[in-house]
Structures are given as C-alpha cells and as structure tokens.
Structure 1
C-alpha cells in the first residue's frame, strides 16, 4: 500500500495564502506517512492542462489498497450561463461550477480554462474503482471569488467575465459522467455550494482550521465528522460567514477506512483526587459544559451512567464535578465520557489593566459563550483604552459602540457587566448569521424559493432583486418574498442582525410565525411578502467604517414562538422540544447530542448578507 497525495495550489486573482496552504498540507501529510507527495504550485502546473494531467496521472498510477488525497487551494466559481446558452441547452444546470486554474483568463469561446466539477467527479470515481480510501479536500469558494485584506477577513468578487461557450460544450460532452458525488469519497469542503471561503494574507481559513484540528487529535482516533465539528467552531470564531462541511463516509478516521463505533468517546481517569476527561480541552470542553459518564460493568458491580459538568480545564484535560461514588474506587476499565452539551465560545482579548481587567476575567470565566483569547489569533472583540477612552472593538480595531470614559473603582463591576453583555450580544448575532439552511429533504415543499429586493431609490416604491455583493446605505429599504407549492401550512419569520450586532425579529408583531397564504389562482401555491424594512444607523455606533448587516428568512411547518431568536429572554420550561435544539444552537452556541423527544421543527433558512456604509456627515 502507498499513501499518495496530489496538492494543487492555484494562486490566482490576488490570492496570497495559497502557497502556505500547500506547504502546511504537504508537511502534515508527510508527518502522517504519505510518501508519494505530488505538489503543483507553479503556473505551468496549475493551469487547466497541468491540473488535468496531474489528476489523470494520479488516477492512472493508483493501486488497490492505496490511500489517496486530492487537495486544492485556490478560487472556485459558480458561473451563471447566459440566457441564450440556457435556451440552447435545455435541461442543463443553470451554472458552470469549476475550479479556477492559473490560466483561467486565457480562455476563449473555443477553449474554456476551468476545471469542471463534472471532470473532478469523474476522476474521483476512477480512483474509487481502484481503491475506496479516497479523500478530496477543497479550500475554495464555489460562488465566485474571495480576496482578503491584511489583518481582517473580507470578501471581494473576482472578475470571472470569461467566455463559457466551450465550457458548456465540455459539460454537455460529460453528460454520461456521474453528476452526483461518489459515495465512497470523503469530501471536505471549505463552504457550501452557494457559499464563500476566506483567507487572510497568510493562509486559507479552512486549511488553517483543518490542519490545527488534525494536529490537536494526532494521537487519538477521531473521525472526520467529529473533526469537522471542531473545524466549524474554529471558523465561526473568525466571525466570517463560512460553513465548512464533510460529505461521503465522514465517519471514517482520517485517511483510513476504519469507522469507530463511538467517535466522541473520551477516556476518564482519576488523578490527585480529581475526575478528569483526558484530552477534553482539545475536544472543546470548557466550564459549564455537560458530559455523560459511562462506567462499564467490571464483574464486581453493574455498569452505570451519570452526567457531570465541567468545572475547570487543566492543560489538555477537563476536570469534572464527580457524581457520588465516582472517586470511591478505581474506575472500571473502559470508563469514558461522551460530550452532551458543548458551547461554542468566542475569544475576547483584554488590553486593560487593574481592577477592570480582573472583573472582566471573572465574568468571562463564568460565560458559556465567551472566553479570554489565548495568543494572537482572531478574536470576537478586544477591550482597550484609546486616547483616554474605554473602547470595545472588533478584531480589526473598529469600535462596536461609541467610546466612553474609563470607569472609577465604584463603577468597575457594572462596567465589566455591560462590556460582557455587549460581547455576548455580538456573539449571538454572529451565531445567527451563521445559521445554515438544512435543505429541502424532509421539508413539505421542495419548490420553496425566496428572494430579497432593494428599493431602487429612497421613496420610489420600485424594487430590484438584491445581488450578492451589493452594499446598502442608511435610508435604503428592502423587502423579502417567498413562495412554494405545498399542501402543508407554512409559517414565516423574518430576522435581522443589524450593523450594531443586535438581533431582532423583524416580524415581532407575530412572533409565532406569519402563515403563508394561497397565491392567486395556483392550487397549492403559497406565498408571502414582507412590508418594506428600513436600514438605519444606531446612535450608539460610531459612524466609521462599513458594518455587516444580515437578513434571514426562516420558514417552518408549525407555529412556534421564535421571539428568543430576536433577543427576547428564553423560557426553557415552556419551550417545545421541537424548538429547543434550534434555540440552543443560535442563542447559546451549544452543540447538543440530546435529540428532541418530540418531532423536530422542519424548517428552511434563506439568508442575505451585505454591508452598510455610514451616513454621510
């Protein structure tokens, strides 16, 4: 058996981190036993023909029993077809999806320089006919392009105005090739099909999170599905709208065919009179998190289970509040912990000193949503004094709120509480921005569609469709429309994460959902249109720098009070089980392994993300 990997880094359209992506992946795979490492990073190697030749040669030379990795870092594209081509090729997909080679701009109407998704699928299928141990890792954007400015994550559309005629013809010629992904290929992708991926000037965000997770768990048998949960957490902490995903047999251990039966099983031990989850800190366990303890039968006592909370972290271990009797005798062999409720905590950097610093650290230690930053990585916020004023800013130094006078000793506790409350509000908004659409499988309407429209000019009452990348200004108005065919009653909620970071239920007058109504004359067609919604700049936000604003439409199959998503206090005792998991994920940042006891809420999420420019002075 040979462990083979093909690493392709196409550094196009002002990308700056691709070379480092390939370098760190090459080093990581070599450490894991890969001996046949093929690296393509020069322009001649990463052009269309160079990529095609490298992938074909890999498929030709792979042998039975090999472990094979295909890794790509660069741009990805989802290019809409012109109407004339769509009419000429009825039934074809409305987009060309492809990787962007280094000679992409050299394409002509007869020579399309994009490596199509169908071509990649066909090569991977060829590989799995030889060996089932195939992993494909794509760190790229699938809906356009991305460029990052130094020091912060940003998205910028890449000019993909290239002739697509030859690409469409090539796609048509591959009509007999499989269009669905090979079920034997582990697919690790930086974002969803219509999503975007990010890098900074150093490295791709997904590759950095992936390599860190693999290094953290190098000595433990943790499958891709568990690693991907950690990768998503790490990406979410960077405050970008990117959701990595794992497809195919993601229950496998990395680069192996083995599938562990209990992927999140963490060993227990007693040391110095304390019950510890070995390596629990690496799995994301922090104080207030909950685990299930499993004690197997050992011949002298029956097996048992209990739940325990994490009380502290010591190096890589999580310390537990032990259940009665747990420390009275040696633990039975095979005793282990299973994470039950794990919070996602956003890092905060404290750059103040004295009593305020101490008060902030105390409050952060007790927060299930925030943690003090360790090192120089990305942070949700930083607390500092600028020009004699106390300021809470984002990771790029842009103040969330207008600076205020530094507090005296008497005001320190209340100031620390206000700062942490603000940061928890921002964290909540970031989680809501990242709420992803679960897809149409199992949803009552497969034809559900939605769009956001923006007023062409203030007060005109004429609207145009919002396009990804459009920016807004104070005084603009938008509205949202949704429609779909179904016999099941559907309900809608419109939510917003404003430029201040606050979340709001725009449809606050009907927090349990607005029923979609029959559309004119079409049996089974339901629809809804929101009234115009104003964009405004809060007075407590400095009028400096563009700020993110997000609009989310949630469509569900029942009436439920979603006011907690808009910032209202939760009432856990009266909360339906169908709603609890969704609220936990968004409001509390919790991954909960408990399944709802009642039938889960079936819902779809449509989201639109933009930036708002400050009002002109």
Structure 2
C-alpha cells in the first residue's frame, strides 16, 4: 500500500507565504514516507489543479494513504442582485486557482466546494484512508495585527455560478456529493464564517498559521499513535496564541490515528522510555509537548494494557524538564518493582497549570526582579529558547521602565522601575495568562453535554438584532451588543457567560446566577434584552482607560453550558488563594485557570458534570462607530469594515499609485422599468483620504435622452475622477430619471457645504494631525467617506426622487487602488443594468486637455 500526496499552492492576490507552506508540508510528508506531487505557481490553474486531482484518483489503489493539501485564497460567490420576483441564488464557496483573475461571465475559474467534494467522493471510493488539509478561508475579516494577511479574497465575488455548477454536473456526470465526506479526515483552517491568516514567523518567513502549527504538531507527535483529534488540540492552541480569531477544526472520522484507519478513544497516556538497560531513576516521555506536558506534572506508570483504575501503578514519574518534543523526569518505582515492562505507559495524575511563556528584554540589571517573580509564578514563566510562539514580551528600557507588549503593541504606558513596578507587571501578566487559558477552554469528549445549546451575538441597531460572525467581526466603543443562548436539547442546562475584555479582565456576565442561568428545553436567555417589555436594547461597549493605543484589540465571550449547576465565579475573582481542588473535572479545570493550582485527576468527587463550551471573539476598536449606511446599492463591492479600516499594508504587486483616474467605460440598460423613464441621468461620486488642504471628493453627472431597452449609453469613457489617492478610493454610482431642472450632483453638494453633517465630515478628514496613529487616520477617513456618500444620497433623493443605487466600492492602498479594468473581462450585471469601469495610474502623467488637474474641493462634469 502506497502513501501519496497532492500538494496544491496558489499564491494570488497578495499572499506571499504559499510556497513556504508547500515546502513545509512536503518535507513533513516525505519524512513519513509519502510520495508527493506539487501543483503550484502557474501550474495551479483551474485546469491544472483538476487534472492533478483526477490523476491522483486514477493512480490511487485500494488501501493507499492519501493526502490532499491546499494553501491559498478561498472565496465566496454572492449572486448578482436579484429582481424582486427572482428566487435568491445560492452562495458557493470556492478556492482560488492561479488563473482566477481570467474569469469571465461564461468561464468561472474558481473551483467550487461542489467540485472538490465530488472528487473527494471519487477518491474515497477507491481508498478510505484520505486526509484533506485546507489552509484557506471564505470570510475576510482583517486582523488587528498588521502582520497577519487573511487567506480569503478581500471582497465578495458577484457571480451567479449556479449555471457553472449545473454545467459541470451535466458535462462531467457528477452526482451531488455531500460536503461532509464520512470517509475522509478534513483539517480546516477555520469555520466557514471565520478567517485564516498567514504571518511572518520568528525566522522571518511568511507562512500560513495553520500549516506551520500542523507541521510543528506532527513533528512533536513523531511516530506516536495519536489521533487527529489529539493533534488538532495542540494545533488549535498554537494557532489561537497567534490569532485568537482563528479556530482550526478536524472534521470527519477525527478519532483515527494519523494517516491510518484505526479509530481509538481519546487517550492522554504516553509511552515511557528508560535510558540504558536498567532503571536509572530517570525516564523520558516522547511526544510530551504535543499533550501540553508541563514541569511539575505527575504520571502513574502502568503496563501497556492497564488503566489507573485497574491496579496500583508500577512507578510515579514527576516531570522536571520539557524539551522541544519530549519531557524528562524522575522515576520512583513502587516497592518490589525492579524494572518497567516493555510498552509501559504514563497516565497523568496531577497536572500543573499551563504557564504562559513571557520574553523579557532589556538590561540585565533592570530585569532581574521581574525574572525572579516569573520563575515563582504558577501561571507565567520566563520564555525558553525553544518556546514558539511567544506572544507576550516585557520590554525594559535603559532606565528600568517596563511595558508589556503583545502582538498588537504596548498594553500600557511605561511604568516606573523598582519592586513595585515589577509586582504590577507580574499582576498584569497573570491576568493575561488567565485570559489566554480561558480562551483555550474547549469541550472534553468524555464529558460532552447531551443537550444541544446554540449561541449567537451581534449588534443592536434601532432595536433590531444584527447578527455578527462567530469570530473576526469588528465593533466600536459605543456600539450596543446582545448575546442569545438557546437550549435546543431535551434536558435542562445551566448557562454561564464570561467576558474576556481587551485588558484581559474576566467578568462573569451572569453574576446574578453564579452557578449558571437555568434553561429548560426550548428556553432562551438574551443579554441586552429587557425581560419586562422584551425590548432589545443591547449592552454598550466601553474601553478601559488603562489600555494604551488606538488599535483594535480582541474581546471574547465564553458560553459555558453545564448539565448541573456549576459555580464559575472563581474565574472572575482577583487574587484567589491557592487551594486544593476537589469536585468535578470541570470544576478542577476552572479552579486551575483561576489560581494556577495543580489539577489532581484522582480527586474527583461526585458525578461528572457534562459541559459544552462556545466562544465568540471580536475586535473592539476604541474609535467611535462609523455612521450607518443610508444608501443601498444593487452591488456593494466593499470589503468588510475590518479590512477597510486596517492599518495600511504594502501591495505584493508593487507600490500603490499616488494619483489615479476613474472612468466609467460602459453601461448597458437592458430594461429601464425600474426608472420608468426614457430620459436617464447617471451620478457618480468618488471620495478618498485627505492628502491636501481640503477633502478629496468629486461628483460627476451625465444625462442621456430617449434611452431604449438594450441601449448602450454613449459614455465616451466618462471621467469621474482624476487626482490623488490616499488610503482608500470610494466610488458610488446612481441611476435616476432625468428630471428637468434638477441640478448636477456637484452643485447639490455645494449647496450643502454649510450643512453641519458635511462640515463634520470635513472636520474629521482635516482634523487628523501627523501625530495620530495611522490606523486611526484610516478609520476616521473611511468613516468620513461614508458620511459624504450618505449626504450625496439624501440630496440626490430630494432632487430627483427615486433612484437606483447601482454600485458601491472601496478600493484600498494594498490593492493599488484597483488599477485596471473592473471587471477584468465582460461586465458587472446588476438587475437591469450591466457596466464596467477602469482605474488608471496617472501619477506621472500631465492633466488631460480640458479636464481638471486636481481634486481638491467639489466639482462635476455633466453631459
């Protein structure tokens, strides 16, 4: 039986670490005896990937072990705006091959989840021993860490590819295949509504966080017969240290051993190796790092087929050193035992808290105090050379002043040197460690809750719930949020909600019921709703004054559902004393998170409490929320707000232009029923960041008479804007009836110059000083652009009545402001209209004859 692997790498749209990903997984699989085939760079086209997959299927024999790996972008197709009578088209997930940019209306170059699942079904029909790894995502939520690049297309793809799928199904005789193949293990970078990232690692290499963490865990596992479930626990822990918003999962038969069909129950025991031919008082635990073994952990050593409940242990092993993949410790044999039998295994009996590694930098004479405190703490410790990643650092300057930094930046202002400062720093580090440990709390299959509990969160706008993704969303100070938990199971559960704030403070939201809010079957509980009149108001978000900086930071809501009342208030207490933990396994886990005391696995009293954990992580920005959008558009092509307001990133395709020209090149009116007129007007507005003495926004209006269905309007490459581009380039286009005497949009906006709202937008754009952090400048500029578009929509509505919002986009700096044709081929279709536009780099070109050479202030063109 052979071992074979297909490794697909598609480095497109700004990703730069895909080649490193493929190299890393290739090396790991070669060491495990796999023969690998690489499909990357310009071989990784749609046709190339599908051909390589088909060849893999034909080469595979029954019983072979097969891996299919993909690193690159994922995407999600949004159907074009439907007419009121149309049925909504399906949204499709897809991966992004190297030639995706060559897609046309009739030739979609993505590869849909349907096509991938159909080929996976064909592969598992030959052999069931298949593993699929997808290091990509389908939702673009920008991280607060500017080094993290999301592995999804930044903006939605407006294409109804239902016909594409139907044609593939018809031409290739594909039967519908379930997306969840029961025969294949699938390792995915995140859930469908989450984002996955690549970053620059400690060695200066760009890499996918999932791929690097997976390769690291496989190295730690070595030849141990561990399951995919166990491996993913370690992978998930490492990924979420780097990116709390990303949660990788193992789907399918994840109880299988690695690259094998054998399924086993979760087992935390480890093999024991004794050096030499006789017992020396020392022993080694291979694979210990994979299981999170810590210094101070104790294990009972038993024969291979025995359990701690079956008999008295042969020996006790106490860990005193943890290496890159193994752990060593002292071995105390029971009286009468002279040697350990072959295959002896170590079962954990006492687990110390997983201490958070902290890197300390600065002059040794100023760091000695904090290092001593770290070494004495049960929850934090000095980082070792082999610790990777280390996400918390204490920076000490030449005067001994200390500042704690995480991946976002400094958490507070520098505090004075000396013992008092050291103690304050330690207190903050312990708070961070407890928060990190609580974020990592996950389900235990041995104590799985039998009732299904669903949870959601979102913002409240005008009394209406607006749902948000489980991870990766962005909210602002002043936003109101709600959390809803519902018991969808057959038995009563007890629900506790905890909030891990941006300062790492842990708050028990359900403090009025410290042991959990009782929910009968079918009952729901909503934070942010008045239970008397059932009005949804939400809870306002605030920013702690002690947290420095203006960058967004992660906040997490933990939903803990238990089968019996369980007091979780210990987690919200400050300065809890260290004491022994008796009670259920869950209670011991919670007490350890709070205090750092060891968890004695042999001191469980009473029936085990079953539980389920759900977490919802979002980025909280200290900036006020942007104004809501008043205008609605048939196509809204803007990336998510988190992407638009992220710190400026460099483009992988070269420097962004300093000046651009935007032209509407083509517009076809298939039917004018929505406007009920043969005389039409087109209004366009461009807004960009403030690079000069006044806001940069320009309006253009064009008029067309006697328009008939099917007419192509004589735009003559209508110049909408020519001028500087800073941070973002927003474009809004409307179509309306051409009412006699109605002013151009530019004149309408001029009349509003004295209005308070536009003045607020102007003040926002201009009032940002050079000392303001760049991320805050971008966020404020994006917010002001939205205000200008809202004002244009309202003034246009008053002047012409009903209009059709045709198109809205925001082209960003790292996209080189969209230089090129949009779409690259064909037209964008929105209900009864098709159109195209271009963005041209005019940085070094002189102004065209008869056209304005600058962009300051408001102006318009009319036809």
TM above 0.5, one fold? yes
Name the structure 2 match of 1:350. Answer: 360
Structure 1 residues 335 and 556: alpha-carbon distance in aligned structure 2, compared to 1, 3 A threshold: closer
Query: 1 CA distance for matches of 2:423 and 2:461?
Result: 40
Residues 389 and 403 in structure 1, CA contact (< 8 A), matched pair in contact too: no
Name the structure 2 match of 1:158. Answer: 153
Name the structure 1 match of 2:165. Answer: 170
2:300 aligned to which of 289, 292, 304: 292
1:610 aligned to which of 569, 594, 619: 619
Aligned-residue offset at 1:80: 6.1
Query: 2 CA distance for matches of 1:575 and 1:567?
Result: 18
Name the structure 2 match of 1:388. Answer: 399
Aligned-residue offset at 1:157: 6.8
Cα deviation digits, residues 114-134 of structure 1 (max 9, x gap): 322232222122122222322
Structure 1 residues 406 and 143: alpha-carbon distance in aligned structure 2, compared to 1, 3 A threshold: same
Moved more, 53-62 or 381-390: 381-390
User: Secondary structure of the residue that 2:231 maps to in structure 1?
Assistant: helix
Aligned-residue offset at 1:208: 0.9
Query: 2 CA distance for matches of 1:313 and 1:449?
Result: 38
2:513 is the counterpart of 1:510: yes
Residues 367 and 396 in structure 2, CA contact (< 8 A), matched pair in contact too: no
2:380 is the counterpart of 1:370: yes
Aligned-residue offset at 1:142: 4.1
Aligned residues: 594
Aligned-residue offset at 1:476: 3.3
Cα deviation digits, residues 321-364 of structure 1 (max 9, x gap): 54463797333333331345375443211113446544444443
Name the structure 1 match of 2:182. Answer: 183
Structure 1 residues 171 and 306: alpha-carbon distance in aligned structure 2, compared to 1, 3 A threshold: farther
Structure 1 residues 485 and 351: alpha-carbon distance in aligned structure 2, compared to 1, 3 A threshold: closer
User: Secondary structure of the residue that 1:405 maps to in structure 2?
Assistant: coil
Structure 1 residues 297 and 391: alpha-carbon distance in aligned structure 2, compared to 1, 3 A threshold: closer
Name the structure 2 match of 1:71. Answer: 69
Query: Gaps (5+ residues) in structure 2?
Result: 201-205, 530-537, 625-767, 773-863
Query: 2 CA distance for matches of 1:86 and 1:270?
Result: 75
Aligned-residue offset at 1:386: 3.3
Structure 1 residues 549 and 223: alpha-carbon distance in aligned structure 2, compared to 1, 3 A threshold: closer
Query: 1 CA distance for matches of 2:65 and 2:547?
Result: 53
2:414 is the counterpart of 1:403: yes
2:210 is the counterpart of 1:206: yes
User: Secondary structure of the residue that 1:14 maps to in structure 2?
Assistant: coil
User: Secondary structure of the residue that 1:71 maps to in structure 2?
Assistant: strand
1:266 aligned to which of 242, 262, 271: 271
- Please list, as runs of the form range in 1=range in 2, the aligned pairs for 1:407-426 lying within 5 A after superposition: 407=418, 411=419, 415-426=421-432
Structure 1 residues 373 and 578: alpha-carbon distance in aligned structure 2, compared to 1, 3 A threshold: closer
Structure 1 residues 250 and 558: alpha-carbon distance in aligned structure 2, compared to 1, 3 A threshold: closer
Aligned-residue offset at 1:22: 0.7
TM-score, L = length of structure 1: 0.81
Query: 1 CA distance for matches of 2:284 and 2:2?
Result: 36
Residues 67 and 134 in structure 1, CA contact (< 8 A), matched pair in contact too: yes
Residues 516 and 566 in structure 2, CA contact (< 8 A), matched pair in contact too: yes
Name the structure 2 match of 1:102. Answer: 98
Moved more, 505-514 or 119-128: 505-514
Aligned-residue offset at 1:391: 2.5
Q: CA RMSD in A?
A: 4.2
Name the structure 2 match of 1:562. Answer: 568
Aligned-residue offset at 1:525: 5.2
Structure 1 residues 435 and 313: alpha-carbon distance in aligned structure 2, compared to 1, 3 A threshold: closer
User: Secondary structure of the residue that 2:618 maps to in structure 1?
Assistant: strand
Query: Gaps (5+ residues) in structure 1?
Result: 519-523
Structure 1 residues 173 and 204: alpha-carbon distance in aligned structure 2, compared to 1, 3 A threshold: same
Aligned-residue offset at 1:161: 2.4
Residues 319 and 329 in structure 2, CA contact (< 8 A), matched pair in contact too: yes
1:114 aligned to which of 100, 105, 110: 110
Structure 1 residues 163 and 238: alpha-carbon distance in aligned structure 2, compared to 1, 3 A threshold: closer
Q: Highest CA radius of gyration, 1 or 2?
A: 2
Residues 132 and 184 in structure 1, CA contact (< 8 A), matched pair in contact too: yes
Residues 188 and 247 in structure 1, CA contact (< 8 A), matched pair in contact too: yes
Name the structure 2 match of 1:444. Answer: 451
Residues 146 and 158 in structure 1, CA contact (< 8 A), matched pair in contact too: no
Aligned-residue offset at 1:234: 2.5
Query: 2 CA distance for matches of 1:297 and 1:434?
Result: 31
